[in-house]
Structure 1
Amino acid sequence: MTQNAETVQRRAPLADQAAELLLARVRAGEWALGQKLPGETTLAPQLGVGRSTVREAIRQLAGRGVLTSRQGAGVFVTSLEAREDWDSVLLRADIVSVIEARIAIESEAAALAAARRTPSDIRAIRRALSARAEQRSEIEAHVDADTAFHRTIVAAAQNPILLELFDGCTPRMRRAMIEMLRIKRVFGGDEDHHTHVELAESVVSRQAETARELSRAHLAALRGALA
Structure 2
Amino acid sequence: MPLVTTKRTGLVDQVIAQMRELVSSGEWPLGQRIPPEAELVTALGVGRNTVREAVRALSHAGLLEVRQGDGTFVRATSEISGAVGRLCGTELRRILEVRRALEVESARLAALARTDTDVAELATLLDDRDAALEAREGERVADTDTRFHLRLVEAAYNPVLLELYRGISEAVQSSVATMFDAEAPFGDHVSHRDLLEAVRAGDPVRAASEAGGFLEEFLTHLGTAGQD
- Residue of structure 1 aligned with 2:103, choices 88, 103, 106: 106
Letter in 1 for 2:195: L
Residue of structure 2 in register with 1:200 after alignment: 196
Partner Cα separation in structure 1 for residue 171 and residue 190 of structure 2:
22
Residue of structure 1 in register with 2:214 after alignment: 218
Superposed, which structure 2 residues align to 1:172-211 within 5 Å?
A: 172-182=171-181, 185-189=184-188, 191-193=189-191, 196-211=192-207
Matched residue SS, 2:121: helix
CA contact (8 A) 1:94 1:176 kept: no
CA contact (8 A) 2:199 2:207 kept: yes
Partner Cα separation in structure 1 for residue 205 and residue 152 of structure 2:
14
Partner Cα separation in structure 2 for residue 222 and residue 184 of structure 1:
15
> Structure 2 length normalisation: TM-score?
0.55
Cα distance, 1:184 vs. partner? 5.6
Letter in 2 for 1:150: H
Cα distance, 1:93 vs. partner? 7.1
Change in CA separation of 1:226 and 1:187 when aligned onto 2, cut-off 3 Å:
closer
Residue of structure 1 in register with 2:42 after alignment: none
> Structure 1 length normalisation: TM-score?
0.55
Percent identity (aligned): 31
- Mark the runs of 5 or more structure 1 residues left unpaired by the alignment: 1-90
Residue of structure 2 in register with 1:127 after alignment: 124
CA contact (8 A) 2:110 2:199 kept: yes
Number of residue-to-residue matches in the alignment: 134
Letter in 2 for 1:94: E
CA contact (8 A) 1:112 1:157 kept: yes
Partner Cα separation in structure 1 for residue 147 and residue 205 of structure 2:
22
Q: Does 2:142 align with 1:146? A: no
Letter in 2 for 1:177: V
Cα distance, 1:175 vs. partner? 2.2
Q: CA RMSD in A?
A: 2.1
Q: Which structure has the bigger radius of gyration?
A: 1
Change in CA separation of 1:162 and 1:92 when aligned onto 2, cut-off 3 Å:
closer
CA contact (8 A) 2:179 2:186 kept: no
Partner Cα separation in structure 2 for residue 166 and residue 201 of structure 1:
22
Matched residue SS, 2:190: helix
- Mark the runs of 5 or more structure 2 residues left unpaired by the alignment: 1-87, 224-228
